[in-house]
Amino acid sequence: SLLQEIQKMALSLLQGYDTDSGSSSEDDLTVTLDKQAINNKRPIMKRSNHEQPVKRLKTNPSPIKQPEVSRAAKSIKPDLTVKSKEIPLPASINAMFIEREKEIVHDDPSLHDGRIRSFGHEKNNWASYVYIDLQDCELDEAKNFLVKELVLEPIDHHHLSISRVVSLRHHWIDPFIKSLKDNLEQGKAFPLSLDKLQVYTNDDKTRTFVGLEATVGVKELQKLTTSVDYCFSEYKLPPFYYPPSFHVSLGWCLGDMRAQIRNRLQKLELKLVDIMEDDGDFGRLLVKNVHCKSG
């Protein structure tokens, strides 16, 4: 009957049941209701009274690694500035600020018969002096005589200086010439006579000169020199020698030879008188012009 069937099923179930005492029988029953459900279900573990609860340590989740960036890549920043185009300066303006090397001129006395410059050469500076031209004055015979007797070098351009030789800057020349004209053109012509033998040296005493000193027209020459000195003073240039010596040089030699030549001047003057008597116009000139040379 139905009751008997139920009893049999219950008996079979009891044969597979495990008790808490741990006894077992060969007819233990294992009931599998749903394998998938059992596999997914977490088993419940019973702990005894002596067991301590297990503390779970909280662990921080591992951070997600970012892709590595090199230092060079980090240092690169976008350049947001706008570069303006530079306009180049004209070459003429740039040249104004270039430090130009000074021109160096080596003075070689051997190229100038042993003569040495009174002052060093400077670019755009011109050796200048004011003088009276004596080319029309008959002096060649006296010059040839002195050069032969004293063994001198002849001077070709005969002139009488009324100023020192100075260094005049190029841009000063034109205004200086104008100043000379304004101060000298009101002067009058005057007679000049050169007949006294004399010996001189330059400022450095590196050269000795022999020439003829003026004996007539000295006052007029002094007035001219005063006017020239005034023009020089406007450019802070040195005045003429004091006391002045107005003369024409006819020959020269190296060194200071004044003592040796002076011992012979008296005899030479006697012979020079003979030359002057033969030529009535010797050493005489009517001064009408004053000249200035630069360079």
Which amino acids are annotated catalytic?
A: 159, 247
CA-based max dimension of the chain = 199
3-state secondary structure at position 276: helix
Helix 140-150 × helix 258-278 angle, to 10°: 140
- 240 by Cβ neighbours in 10 Å (0-12 / 13-18 / 19+) ranks as buried
Q: Copy the structure tokens of residue 94.
A: 């740039």
3-state secondary structure at position 193: strand
d(CA 274, CA 201): 27
Q: Copy the structure tokens of residue 93.
A: 């303006």
Q: Are 234 and 179 in contact (CB under 8 A)?
A: yes
Q: What is the dihedral of CA 250, 254, 259, 262, to 10 degrees?
A: -10
